[in-house]
Structure 1
Amino acid sequence: MMKQKISYFALVLAGLIMLAAIFYSLNSGISAQASSGAERYTVKAGDSLFIIAGKYGIPVAALKQANGLKSDWLAAGQVLIIPLNSSTGQSKAKSLKAILAERGITDPWSTLKIVINKTNHSLSIVYKNTWLKTYPVDIGSGGLADKQVQGDLKTPEGTFYIAEKSVLSPADYYLGTRWMRLSYPNAEDAGRGVRQGLINSQTGDSIVNAINAGKIPPQRTALGGGVGIHGGDIPSFGKDWTWGCIGLSNGDVEDFYDYVSVGTTVIITK
């Protein structure tokens, strides 16, 4: 009986030693990565693995592996380790300029497009069918629904183009350092406006003609206007603080501003 007890306790002790060794190994791996320069990122409301990985130019799988994540679920306040880039040994987010250079893209002005997902609060720069970089954004304070009329504070959905670009110096308090006006309302909005009696057919034709010519459509109709992509985002503004525009930090909007042009396609989805 005594021998059986000793054998049982020895087995338990061996198991505890093995668990401790595994824990130490895992913890050492994380510590080594952190001490070697890996960056830490605190998850904010509205973040996703896709947005964070895009910000740092790393695969989602690498981000999940570095943090032992089994699912895509994240909580605000959660701290993630950003794995080192294998080629540079750095975890700092790559600039769009660096990404374009790595991929040998020399004519971004004619080939890039912008894809915005309102639910994910993301703005992605896309080259042909390749997603190059993703930035976190805020949208209109009126909610996720599609923009309908002037003053509803909603962000429109559909296919648009950049109709105007401006560098703002000094920076505007709300618009930040960069402004890109979008071609809202578009032809589909014009048709809807006529059907709903919001605008007359003459105004609808003016909108369609402007869109066909690649110009700025009429901005002072019942459909609203003045929708764009801009900087100015600061923590005190909170979440989804714009009047219907797409808001980014000044640093993020400056990162891609020079690589898009008047005429660049902008697709906004829910």
Structure 2
Amino acid sequence: MVRRRWRKGLGILWICLGLLLLCASYTQLGDVVVDYAIWRWMVTFKRPIEQVDDYRVVVTKSTRRLDVYQDGQIVASYRVGLSSQGLAPRKTWEDRLTPEGVFLIASMQRQSVFGPRQMLLETTESALEDYLAQYGDAGRARLQTWENEHGPLDTIWETYDFNAAYPEHPMWHDILIHGGGSERDWTWGCIALDDADVVALFDLLHKSRHRGLGVPVEIRP
């Protein structure tokens, strides 16, 4: 079953890449199609994120700054807004805090409810650890039941599926870098930039080896 799914996934990817060749003379359209095709492939086949090392993002909560490093040098810096609930690190779905740690960018999205762009962070490892600390044996039982049916829960895509199966006991997720303004702390745990800045950040990270995917984002106190 897994092998058939992989073959189907590779088939879809090659079809998408073939379609992209038709858009080769239209750079902007080609970028949109490539980004969408990659996103659909990763979501459908629960692909893990591979870290890249050419770019790195550091968010410092205490100073409300997001710094972008390319090959070890700062190349951009932006003001950010954070959680409306304070600066403590996220531990549960309910607390709506901004987490701390190192997370990889899992998707680059050109549409968002909050501004013109958004970037989703892969938070599964930290969120799963916090989930088991919060719910103990009951949480482990839910996780075991889910994994017996679906396999290991180790990507953000499976976190969505797990939460759909247990809507009364969700795992925290959906931490985004998005627009909407940075003048105050107003989010439910996401990192908010001014709209012009999130477009600039998106375009900058899009130059990385995997078009923004896998760029590490370190969120510091």
Which TM-score applies when normalising by structure 1? 0.50
> Residue in 1 aligned with 2:171?
223
For residue 196 of structure 1, the aligned residue among 116, 119, 134 is: 134
Matches within 5 A, 1:118-137: 118-137=61-80
How far 1:120 sits from its partner (Å)?
Answer: 0.7
CA separation of 1:216 and 1:130: change in aligned 2, threshold 3 A = farther
Q: Where does the alignment leave 5 or more consecutive residues of structure 2 unmatched?
A: 1-51, 164-168, 206-211
Structure 2 residue 85 is matched with structure 1 residue 147: no
How far 1:217 sits from its partner (Å)?
Answer: 4.7
Secondary structure of residue in 2 paired with 1:154? coil
Higher-Rg member (1/2): 1
Give the Cα separation in 2 of the matches to 1:153 and 1:240: 12
How far 1:208 sits from its partner (Å)?
Answer: 6.8
Give the Cα separation in 2 of the matches to 1:159 and 1:217: 19
In structure 2, give the amino acid aligned to 1:177.
Answer: P
Larger CA deviation: 186-195 vs 255-264? 186-195
> Residue in 1 aligned with 2:117?
178
Deviations 1:52-94 (A, max 9, x none): xxxxxxxxxxxxxxxxxxxxxxxxxxxxxxxxxxxxxxxxxxx
Structure 2 residue 158 is matched with structure 1 residue 158: no
For residue 267 of structure 1, the aligned residue among 197, 218, 221 is: 218
> Residue in 2 aligned with 1:245?
190
Give the Cα separation in 2 of the matches to 1:233 and 1:190: 30
On the 8 A contact 2:127/2:173 being kept in 1, the answer is: no
CA separation of 1:132 and 1:230: change in aligned 2, threshold 3 A = same
Matches within 5 A, 1:24-173: 111-168=54-111, 172=113
Secondary structure of residue in 1 paired with 2:132? helix
CA separation of 1:145 and 1:251: change in aligned 2, threshold 3 A = same
Give the Cα separation in 2 of the matches to 1:207 and 1:152: 28
How far 1:130 sits from its partner (Å)?
Answer: 1.7
How far 1:239 sits from its partner (Å)?
Answer: 1.3
Structure 2 residue 159 is matched with structure 1 residue 233: no
Which TM-score applies when normalising by structure 2? 0.60
Secondary structure of residue in 1 paired with 2:129? helix
Give the Cα separation in 2 of the matches to 1:204 and 1:113: 34
Equivalenced residue count is: 151
Q: Please identify runs of 4+ aligned residues in structure 1 that moved more than 3 A.
A: 203-209
